[in-house]
Amino acid sequence: MTTESPTDISRVITPVVLGEPRTSRDVSPLVGVHGEVLADVQGAPRLLAQSVLRRVRQSADGEPPPAKVLAHAGELFATETLEGQSPQQYVTSVAYSAGLPITFAWDACQGLRSVLGDIERLNRRDFPGPAESAGSRTEWLPAGRVFAHVASLGKAPGPNAEWLRALSLGYSIVMRPGLRDPFTARRLVAALLAAGVPGHQLTLLPGEDEMAHGLVRDADRAALFGSEEKVRPWRANKNVDVHGVGRSKLVIDHLPDEADLDFLAESIAAEGGIRCDCTSVVLTTEDPAEVAEILAERLAALPPGPVPDPAARLPLIAAAAADGTRKQLFGLAEGLTDHSTPRYGGDPLVAHADSSHTVRPTVLSTRDGDHPTVGTELVYPFVVVAPWNYQDGVTHLRDSLALTFLTDPERTAPLLRRAAAEPSIRQVFVGRVPPWRPHPDVPDHTLAALLVEPKKVVGRVTA
């Protein structure tokens, strides 16, 4: 693994309209956490986006690219120079732009390569096969022709996998890349085109939120990633897969042992703590302060290195954001016990020679399970430990993307059934099962509900 010098990777990112690059006068510099310009991003005006979406719909034919083509694109994406950009330059750009340790950026690159290389098996796993009965045949087919993918901040490459899955079913893709990571979507488009995917299936439109939300509104199906404020208006729309704050929680009914601590630390700080399925609330039947103190000690050991440091495991921000981040963290700790900042000499940030700052983990505790800070989710490792007991039931467990139980199995069994039946809890994990890792044999029912629908043929069915 190598890292390019950040001074040698500045580039221009243009819109791509039905496979063809387009220029725009709307240019915004993208500055990395080291304070240097990484790219000039050309945005697509709202009126252009509207006309482009009409063209995309007119040309959409619903033909899925062959799996071999997608697998080849994955290899090109991860290993070849595309549009003058090497894999090393790409990963370095993402790391400095999104504030990721270089190791995490490389891992994300390989993750997308794996998705493209394994697309046939993933589709067989996630989407129901045809079912035949006397005189009829039911098939699960794409629910539309145009898929919009909109990332707000875009601090991780991984979410691009969702539009790749839609493309593999034959959707034509229109995307607004993340403001912090336009590099991944642009490179994926280049790889897919080079591998032979028809241009009319790929459109990339950097730009403002108003333009992007128009794409979500007018597409047949869409995925939207962003803050709760940005995604809230779309939560009731069943045609939109909304990815807002996760408020993922973990329940533990004993003092954590070493194995529990390893799992807890990773559940909070996996991939730098930027994932929405990273734990932001720990609910315990034990003394919250005692659990928080043990956890803070473990998390404080995570190395706070700069972007190129292969040992680094924590996210980074620009110097311009440092004071605001400190103020935010100190404000959230008001009225709670801060178990982390005193361990850092009073400063949760670490400054590096390139002017970037690492944000170290914050662990707070409270004896009030209803404190407004409980459930706060940030884009770096942040967790509140709060009290809980079995009599509370699911009251404090609701509104969770991922809910994990490290509890007595027999005592928890009735609660597990209630948690699984609670509509605001998306996923339930029992034991030290990591929500942040892929589970190869577990179907993604959310993706199936979004992208495909049953079509029935009744009568004489021969094939």
- Give the pLDDT confidence score for residue 133 in this predicted structure: 83
The stretch 257-266 carries a mean pLDDT of: 97
pLDDT band at 46 (very low <50, low <70, confident <90, very high): confident
The predicted model gives 170-192 an average pLDDT of: 98
- In Å, what is the CA distance from 286 to each residue of 255, 283, 390, 428? 7, 9, 12, 22
Q: Look up the CATH number of the domain holding residue 266.
A: 3.40.309.10
d(CA 14, CA 179): 13
Residues 258, 182 share a domain: no
Average confidence (pLDDT) over 165-186: 97
The gap between the terminal CA atoms of the chain, to the nearest Å, is: 50
What confidence tens digit (pLDDT) does each residue in 427-437 have?
Answer: 999 999 998 88
Look at residue 215 and tell me whether its pLDDT is greater than 70.
Answer: yes
Quick check: is 58 in a domain?
Answer: yes
Q: Reading across the β-sheet that carries 400-406, which strands appear in turn?
A: 337-338, 362-365, 382-387, 279-284, 248-252, 400-406, 425-430
Burial class (CB within 10 angstroms; exposed 0-12, middle 13-18, buried 19+) of 222: buried
Maximal C-alpha separation, the chain: 76
Domain annotation covers residue 113:
yes
443 domain-assigned: no
Boundary-marking domain end, from 225, 243, 261: 243
pLDDT at residue 274 is higher than 80: yes
Domain check: are 142 and 254 in the same one?
no
pLDDT at 6 over 70: no
CATH code assigned at 152? 3.40.605.10
For range 189-202, the mean pLDDT: 99
- Residue 19 pLDDT > 80: yes
Q: Tens digits of per-residue pLDDT, 56-66?
A: 999 999 999 99
Residue 436 lies in a domain: no
The stretch 20-46 carries a mean pLDDT of: 96
Does the structure show a pLDDT above 70 at 2? no
pLDDT score at 460: 65
| Per-residue model confidence as pLDDT tens digits over 89-112 | 999 999 999 999 999 999 999 999
pLDDT of residue 135: 80
Which of 243, 260, 279 corresponds to the end of one domain?
243
Structural domain boundaries, residue 86 = 6-243
Average pLDDT over residues 123-129: 93
Examine the fold and report which residue of 220, 243, 266 is the final residue of a domain before the chain moves on.
243
Residue 455 lies in a domain: no
Total domain count, the chain: 2
Q: For residues 267 and 374, state if they share a domain.
A: yes
Q: Say which residue the tokens 């709060």 belong to.
A: 386
| Mean residue pLDDT across the chain | 94
CB 419 within 8 A of CB 393: no
List 252's β-bridge partners, or say none.
284, 406
**% of the chain at pLDDT higher than 90:** 87
Residue 446 included in any domain:
no
Lowest-pLDDT choice from 37-46, 131-140, 142-151, 184-193: 131-140
**Confidence category of residue 399, pLDDT binned at 50, 70, 90:** very high
Mention every residue, 6+ apart, whose C-beta is less than 8 A from residue 423: none
Answer yes or no: is 439 within a domain.
Answer: no
pLDDT of residue 436: 83
Query: Domain for residue 409, yes or no?
Result: yes
Instruction: Say yes or no: 257 and 237 in one domain.
Output: no
Do 254 and 284 lie in a common domain? yes
pLDDT tens column, 341-381:
999 999 999 999 999 999 999 999 999 999 999 999 999 99
Same domain, yes or no: 283 and 399: yes
Q: What is the mean pLDDT of residues 389-414?
A: 94
pLDDT of residue 154: 80
Residue 274 and residue 179 in one domain: no
Q: What is the mean pLDDT of residues 252-281?
A: 95
The verdict on 139 and 36 lying in the same domain is yes
Are residue 197 and residue 271 in the same domain, yes or no? no
User: Quick one: 373 and 389 in the same domain?
Assistant: yes
Residue 113, pLDDT score:
98
Residues 38 and 173 in one domain: yes
> Are 83 and 158 in the same domain?
yes
Render pLDDT for 379-398 as a digit per residue (tens, 0 to 9): 999 999 999 999 999 999 99
Looking at the whole model, is its pTM more than 0.85?
A: yes
